[in-house]
């Protein structure tokens, strides 16, 4: 490589003559303000960290591709799903939820499973978790829930009192709590876990007919989990264990893969199904709506730069493409705003112009200016619509499908409040060994809770899911379930 390619320069391209010594007034004099290289170097260093994500701060990512294996174009007009064999480049970010950027990979926590598909019709982001359900079902509760997972404002320590107080007062969390405290609460690696869109989405075909859909990414590596004691040991010895494992696997050519399946529900079934199909604390029975394979996702390339790609990657459940739309899921509806707004705050208004987020499809809109603009900022082209000068125009054919709304505008809960059947079914599906570990994990997590009333309230939820479930937890905590539970 020639000398010109190796020379050290400032950010504006001027060569640096001395990178070892500040410019001073004499050998012992004060540093001079005119040492612009020093000033730029220190100023940039002070700004090297963007705010970390409030949730999902600790993550790892990789590039890959998605290949269609079954034609489902009768259900969706999404171009990247239009024909068998079609490949779409994609990027995925795995993450924990509650911990900070430097936290351990092997803690008991759900894992984020966020996929960005770079399609010819724009980016499609499927922003899910490694669980098919979530703790709450209305976005208005999300800030409060996450506050309980974070640190106490006085002690700056994790607060089990807040965690279990919130869960015991939010019985809809029971299904996810049961999954979290089970063996699947600590995946062995990021490669050995399933992924889910979790929410219900709408697919629309070329004729405008709609269906409801749920996404399931099934790992080809098989599901493997970590023993709680081994996970704690790894957390102390190698807090980046999952990040390292994913990078090394791809680096040596052991490319992880997942098969994407969907469950498809006819639109009219939503009015009669035994659970509200838009309630993200519930699953659809696979006996009622079997899994249908869509395609295969393969991760085959590591990031070249962690910050530029993994940290600056931005995902939003609102990044749809024609043929995929939102459902009335209350959690999803809130996320449609919250994720994009988080990225505008954290990375900037022009975050979608960064290479990791930039669509392969042509972007042609009237957004201008703002920090960190990339390219020529639209040049002198038309910057408004409608216009008479050949600027960008709307495409009515790509309007979201019309949907009917009924009722009175109000702050209302879901119609169905059965929070116990599905967690109970899950408990009864477990083997005795799995149940014993589940009970042990819950008892260990609840033991530090200082308020007996909180413990009894939560035990009552477990008991309603399955009497044995609640009784065993009560015994483990040395408590007696009050009569009438």
CA 276, CA 138: separation in Å to the nearest integer?
A: 13
Q: Are 429 and 469 contacting, i.e. CB atoms less than 8 angstroms apart?
A: no
Residue 38's CB: how many other CB atoms inside 10 A? 17
Q: Are 98 and 55 contacting, i.e. CB atoms less than 8 angstroms apart?
A: yes
Residue 208's CB: how many other CB atoms inside 10 A? 9
Q: What residue has token string 């975050």?
A: 351
129 is catalytic: yes
Active-site entry in 37, 56, 261, 351: 56
Residue 316's alpha-carbon distances to 50, 147, 243, 320, 391, in angstroms, are: 18, 21, 22, 9, 27
What is the 8-class DSSP label of residue 352? Answer: G
SS3 state of residue 391: coil
Residue of 129, 94, 108, 112 lying closest to 185 (CA atoms): 108
Active-site entry in 37, 63, 123, 129: 129
Region label for 56, one of left (φ > 0), alpha (ψ between -120 and 50) or beta (otherwise): left
CA 181, CA 436: separation in Å to the nearest integer?
A: 11
Quick check: bond before 162 cis, omega within 30?
Answer: no
Distance of CA 16 to the CA centre of its chain: 42
Q: What residue has token string 């999954």?
A: 179
Residues 6+ apart with CB under 8 A from 235: 104, 105, 106, 107, 241
CA 393, CA 52: separation in Å to the nearest integer?
A: 37
Residue 80's CB: how many other CB atoms inside 10 A? 24
Residues 6+ apart with CB under 8 A from 114: 56, 92, 93, 94, 95, 125, 126, 127, 128, 313, 315
56 is catalytic: yes
Residues 6+ apart with CB under 8 A from 188: 224, 225, 226
CA 49, CA 27: separation in Å to the nearest integer?
A: 33
Catalytic sites, residue numbers: 56, 129
């Amino acid at each position: 490589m020639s000398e010109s390619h190796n020379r050290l320069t400032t950010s504006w391209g001027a060569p640096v003559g001395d990178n070892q010594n500040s410019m001073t007034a004499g050998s012992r004099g004060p540093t001079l303000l005119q040492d612009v290289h020093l000033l730029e170097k220190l100023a940039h260093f002070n700004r090297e960290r963007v705010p970390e994500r409030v949730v999902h701060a600790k993550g790892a990512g990789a590039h890959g591709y998605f290949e269609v294996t079954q034609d489902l174009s009768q259900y969706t007009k999404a171009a990247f799903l239009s024909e068998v064999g079609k490949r779409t480049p994609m990027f995925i970010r795995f993450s924990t939820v509650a911990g900070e950027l430097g936290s351990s990979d092997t803690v008991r926590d759900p894992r984020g499973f966020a996929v960005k598909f770079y399609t010819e019709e724009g980016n499609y982001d499927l922003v899910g978790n490694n669980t098919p359900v979530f703790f709450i079902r209305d976005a208005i509760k999300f800030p409060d829930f996450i506050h309980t997972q974070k640190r106490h404002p006085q002690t700056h320590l994790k607060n089990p009192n807040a965690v279990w107080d919130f869960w015991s007062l939010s019985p809809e969390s029971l299904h996810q709590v049961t999954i979290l405290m089970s063996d699947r609460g600590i995946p062995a690696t990021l490669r050995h876990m399933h992924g889910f869109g979790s929410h219900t989405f709408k697919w629309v075909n070329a004729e405008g007919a709609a269906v409801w859909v749920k996404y399931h990414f099934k790992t080809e590596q098989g599901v493997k989990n970590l023993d709680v004691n081994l996970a704690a040991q790894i957390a102390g010895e190698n807090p980046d264990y999952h990040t390292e494992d994913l990078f090394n696997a791809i680096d040596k050519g052991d490319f992880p893969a997942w098969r994407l399946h969907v469950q498809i529900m006819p639109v009219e079934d939503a009015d009669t199904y035994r659970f509200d199909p838009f309630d993200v604390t519930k699953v659809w029975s696979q006996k009622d709506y079997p899994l249908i394979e869509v395609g295969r996702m393969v991760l085959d390339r590591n990031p070249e730069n962690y910050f530029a790609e993994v940290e600056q990657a931005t995902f939003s459940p609102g990044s749809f493409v024609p043929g995929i739309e939102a459902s009335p899921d209350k959690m999803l509806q809130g996320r449609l705003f919250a994720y994009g707004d988080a990225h505008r705050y954290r990375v900037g208004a022009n975050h979608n112009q960064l290479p990791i987020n930039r669509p392969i499809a042509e972007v042609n809109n009237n957004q201008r200016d703002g920090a960190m603009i990339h390219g020529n900022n639209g040049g002198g082209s038309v910057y408004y619509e409608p216009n008479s000068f050949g600027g960008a125009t709307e495409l009515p054919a790509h309007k979201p499908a019309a949907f009917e709304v009924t009722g009175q505008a109000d702050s209302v809960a879901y119609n169905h409040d059965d929070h116990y059947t599905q967690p109970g079914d899950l408990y009864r599906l477990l083997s005795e060994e799995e149940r014993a570990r589940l009970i042990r994990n819950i008892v260990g997590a609840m033991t530090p809770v200082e308020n007996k009333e909180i413990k009894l309230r939560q035990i009552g939820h477990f008991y309603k899911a399955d009497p044995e479930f609640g009784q065993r937890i009560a015994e483990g905590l040395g408590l007696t379930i009050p009569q009438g539970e």
